Amino acid sequence: MNVALIAHDNKKPTIINFAIAYKHVLQKHKLFATGTTGKKIMEETGLSIHRFQSGPLGGDQQIGAMIANNEMDMVIFFRDPLTAQPHEPDVSALIRLCDVHQIPLATNLSSAEIFIHGLKQGVMDWRQVLKERRDKGK
């Protein structure tokens, strides 16, 4: 599964701790992240992560393009709801794309933990079935 990891500045410590706690699950999947978040997670966990630009420089949009092309299976995005973000339109677009394309989106630690346990148990395997059906139709 392709999993995106994103966090606003005030939530970076939370996503790093999440990645440390669930490294045993995450390492079995292909990980993507916005620039700084990915760098910090890699430094703390040793996980292999494809890094895009930072969010304000277009990283959210790069992940959004993967979603639009059915190349992303899950997004874990620890948002800071109490701080205004200069790239809020990009954040809104990313969330909208997840809704349009039926991509599971966790925006806080509680939902991310539920998703990661589902990922571990194979609950997300339906995404692979959709991809295979799409590929047969080409």
Residue 65: partners with Cβ closer than 8 Å, 6 or more residues away? none
Give 61: exposed, middle or buried? Use CB within 10 Å, 0-12, 13-18, 19+.
Answer: middle
- What are the backbone dihedrals phi and psi of residue 79, each rounded to the nearest 5 degrees, phi first? -90, 150
Residue positions annotated with a catalytic role: 60
Assign 66 to helix, strand or coil: helix
Tokens of 4: 């995106």
Residue 64: partners with Cβ closer than 8 Å, 6 or more residues away? 90, 93, 94, 97
